[in-house]
Amino acid sequence: MTGPDRRLVALFLDMMAAERGAARTTLSAYEADLADYADFLGSDSGVRAATPDRIRAYLADLQERGLKASSAARRLSAVRQFHRFLYAEGYRADDPTAALSGPKRARSLPKTLSIAAVDRLLAVAREPLDSAAASHGEKLRAARMSCLLELVYATGLRVSELISLPVSAARAKEDFLIVKGKGNKERLVPLTPAAKAMARTYLDLAGAPGKSASAFLFPADSESGHLTRQAFARDLKMVAASAGFSADLVSPHVLRHAFASHLLQNGADLRVVQELLGHADISTTQIYTHVLDERLKAMVRDLHPLGEKP
């Protein structure tokens, strides 16, 4: 990437961080994608002289490299936003991406769990708490996992939001949490009685003598000071195996999907689920429209006067 292109990319990243609150990982992904794009254009063209045909050639090159349609579409999205920025800020007199269409992406359905499967998972996680033979350490680990599961299923939190919850979240008297999500945007998420009760049980066990105080609900000896997503995912797969589930079927993100899918199955509005999940765009939440489609079919079948007739 040439010096002028590097400077423009840096300005774009500064805008994304300052105005849109983009996370560090998001900025790193944009930087890598745009560096690849600028390297393809080369010093003869550069981003300020890129034409629609040159950008199409870049997309063709991505395909020749074997990139999946979803990865190529993400690259094009980064290039589009970059050129919109250049046009808006006066670095270019036009936007060469305006008339471009992106690669078609297959819309895959999110993996999820049935309500019965989630109940089974919660029951297995709680088993050591009801065992007289279990040690304090075993009960504490079971309470922590049960608290994590109850919270993610009750709220649909992202795993990064869940593991970094402050200890005050478990002591709140209200039936909701204030969560700071992507872009430092705050949202309210409701708490179920079961989640609040398990959080209290976990705190009671965690407050035993010898346990150091922490600002985090799930403290750990890690760089961040709280439980890592890798540790949570590993422990969750152990519980899943004990419950008789395949390891690739259960993950923290699958439980977030279960939260959304089960709400929609039971009549929740898509816009409400969007707000609870913290999606900035309704199109992100629309991966769950297959749930709505099935519900609408069932409503027609069960409620329409001719629904049961051939």
CATH classification number, 3-88, choose in 2.60.120, 1.10.1660, 1.10.150, 1.10.3470: 1.10.150
Mean per-residue pLDDT for 296-300?
Answer: 50
pLDDT at 139: 95
Q: Rounded distance, CA 86 to CA 88, Å?
A: 6
Domain ranges of the chain: 3-88, 115-298
- The larger pLDDT score, comparing residue 166 to residue 303, is at 166
Is the pLDDT assigned to residue 201 strictly greater than 90? yes
pLDDT tens profile 140-176 = 999 999 999 999 999 989 888 999 999 888 777 778 8
pTM above the 0.75 mark? no
**Fold adopted by 115-298:** hpI Integrase; Chain A (1.10.443)
* Residue pLDDT, tens place only, 268-281: 878 888 888 888 77
Residue 291's SS3 state is helix
Most confident of 221-235, 247-261, 285-299: 221-235
pLDDT, the chain, mean: 83
Q: How many CA atoms lie within 13 A of 184 on its CB side?
A: 8
Q: What is the reported pLDDT for 128?
A: 95
**Partners of 180 in the beta sheet?**
186
User: What's the pLDDT score for residue 34?
Assistant: 94
Amino acid in the structure at residue 152: V
Work out the pLDDT band at 244, boundaries 50, 70, 90: very high
Each residue's pLDDT tens digit, 37-92? 999 988 666 888 889 999 989 888 988 888 887 788 888 889 999 999 999 888 99
Q: Could you tell me which of 225, 252, 226, 222 has the C-alpha nearest to residue 240? A: 252
pLDDT at 300: 45
Residue 133: which residues within 8 A CB-CB, separation 6 or more?
none
pLDDT the model gives residue 289: 64
Cβ pair 109, 287 in contact under 8 A: yes
pLDDT score, position 145: 96
pLDDT of residue 103: 56
Percentage of the chain with pLDDT > 90? 33
Active site members: 158, 182, 253, 256, 279, 288
234 pLDDT exceeds 60? yes
- Two structure tokens written together for 138: 């075993």
Give residue 282's identity as a one-letter amino acid code: I
